[in-house]
Structures are given as structure tokens and as C-alpha cells.
Amino acid sequence: MEYRKLGNSELQLSAITYGAFAIGGNMWGGNEKQDSIAGIHAALDHGITSIDTAPFYGFGRSEELIGEAIRGKDRSKIQLLTKFGLVWDGSNNGKGEYFFDAPADGKNIPVYKYTSKANIIKELEESLKRLGTDYVDLLQLHWPDATTPIAETMEALNTLIRQGKIRAAGVSNYDQGQMQEAAKTIQLASNQVSYSMLNREIEKDIVPYSIGNNIGIIAYSPLERGLLTGKYFKDAALKADDHRNGYFGQFPADKVMAFLESITPLAEGKKASLAQLVLRWTTLQPGITVVLAGARNATQAVENVAAMDLQLTTEEIGFINGELEKVYSRQAV
């Protein structure tokens, strides 16, 4: 495994970081507790040291599973990354910005973006309890909240750093303008943004700005939630409550399938899966610090780690990029 410094912070994260959205269960067709914990253990045992989660993932379930999985392990060797700012329990009392209705247990729960100082402090304390720790390595704003001044949010993060409750502060889904506004109040360690072979919009402005200002980029959805593994063009099926039933529809299926077929011989020649080839390509892109990869079980976690063993030449990367041009780039949603 390769370890990379996150922006201007002192954090050293594993280039492949465990993404814990799916193990929350909600919106992903459920999860199996023991498989999820085994996946986290396998990731840690094979060199992944960083785990990214959020209170919203499974409405606290993801953080709880992580807390259980790391209990008794050396906390100083694990970097916990979590977030704040998505409220689903009504504790915002109608404040904030309505986001969407999240399906859960056969009903829809309204979710709000809310990043006030009081809410940040409240959410962090809840996260610390679920994770079973007294500090978080990186606390990230989950989604921008138009109802709360950026300065208020960033001042709260500065306070938490001074208190020792978080080691570094980051954002997620911020555009360049929002990053520049935040920089007036805080020195951001990172921006977590959607980035994949099919979604390279951040290369236009966020990547150059981040490189120029020593801000790390955490790439999420590098496999486009499994689409780039190729298995959903074969026999894999999605459960009815899996959000990917609608998510995959935004991509041109025929072009994506043709692209995956074109790079399959390259993956096979390296005795690698398509997922491993895609992950490794993503880690090699300019400005990308770490790449999130989810795992529902130990086998998937070990496969993700092995992606870093792949060596790609300049010519091979050029070939992949050329094939990608036959698909298209899309704006992140």
C-alpha cells in the first residue's frame, strides 16, 4: 500500500481508503453486519489504514459498525474520516436546506443540509460515540448548505481543531468558489468530490486550484457505484430498493460496455479485475490524493488493496484515456 500526505495536514492516508457508504445499508439494498465487519478487518490487515464514513450512511449504522470493527485495535494507526451536515432526525427543527427524501424501512425520510455551528458540535459528539473514539482524524462538511454562512461553518471547525476533537478539517462537494470562500477562515486539508473515468469535470478547475493551494482531493465513486466493474452488464442484479437502479440510467450503457470491453484485455494481461484497473488508474491521476473504495466483505476489501500492486505505463494510461474519449465526460450530480 502507498500512503499519501493529505494536503497541508499532517495526515498520512492510504491511497486506497475504505469507503463505508454501502455498509450503512440504506439505499444500497441492505447489508450483512458480520460481512461488513470482516471487510473492515481485512482492509486493515492488508494495509488500508483510512476509513471514510458519515452519520448519514445508514443513519448512523455505518459509524456504529466501524466503531465495533476497530474496538481493541491501535487507534493511532487508523485514520477515521467522517462528516457532518446531513440531518434526517428532525433535530434541525425545519432549519437548513431541504435536500431529498431518503428511503428507509418502506418510507421516505426528509434529509436537510444543515451546517450551523451548533449542529456541527452536536453531530460530532454523536459520531464520536458511535465510532467509540475521542477524536476524528478528518471531519468533513458533507454537502454545502446555502442557509448557513461558510464562515460560521469554518469557524466551528477551527474551534474543534483547537479543542483536539479533530486533527484536520475538510469539505465535500465544494466548488472552487466555495473553497476560496472557506479559505478566508480556515486552511482546508481536503475536498472530497465525485471523480471517475466517466466523470472528470473536476479536472477543469477543482484539481488545478487544489494543486495550487496544497489541498488534498479525496475521490469518491471511482467505480461509479459498481458500474465500472462490468458485473452489472452480466448477471448481477440490484435489489428493488437499491438507489443504483436510477443512478446507472444517466450513463450511455452501450458506450460504457464497449469501453470496458476494450480495456478488459489490459486487465487480464495483468491478472487483474476491471475494478482493480479502474481504481489504479484513478490513483494515478494528477491531484488525486486518495481514492475511496467500498467493500461489503473481506474478499472485496482484499481485492481493492491489490489494485495498488498494478503497474501502468505511460502508454497504457494513454490507451485507457483514448478509449475513454469514445464515451464522454459528464457533470457531477
User: 281, 287 in Cβ contact below 8 A?
Assistant: no
Strand-pair partners of 83? 140
User: Shortest CA distance to 16 belongs to which of 307, 312, 270, 281?
Assistant: 307
Residue of 57, 112, 114, 220 marked catalytic: 57
User: Shortest CA distance to 60 belongs to which of 116, 106, 128, 5?
Assistant: 128
User: 162, 5 in Cβ contact below 8 A?
Assistant: no
Alpha carbon distance 55, 33 (integer Å): 17
Alpha carbon distance 313, 325 (integer Å): 19
Q: If DSSP codes are grouped into helix, strand and coil, which group holds residue 238?
A: coil
Alpha carbon distance 214, 9 (integer Å): 9
Question: DSSP readout, 97-160?
Answer: EEEEEEEETTEEEEEEE---HHHHHHHHHHHHHHHT-S-EEEEEE-S--TTS-HHHHHHHHHHH
Strand-pair partners of 219? 193, 291
Query: Could you confirm whether 328 is annotated as catalytic?
Result: no
Alpha carbon distance 83, 90 (integer Å): 18
User: Shortest CA distance to 36 belongs to which of 10, 64, 1?
Assistant: 64
Residue written as cell 479525496? 218
Give catalytic residue positions.
Answer: 57
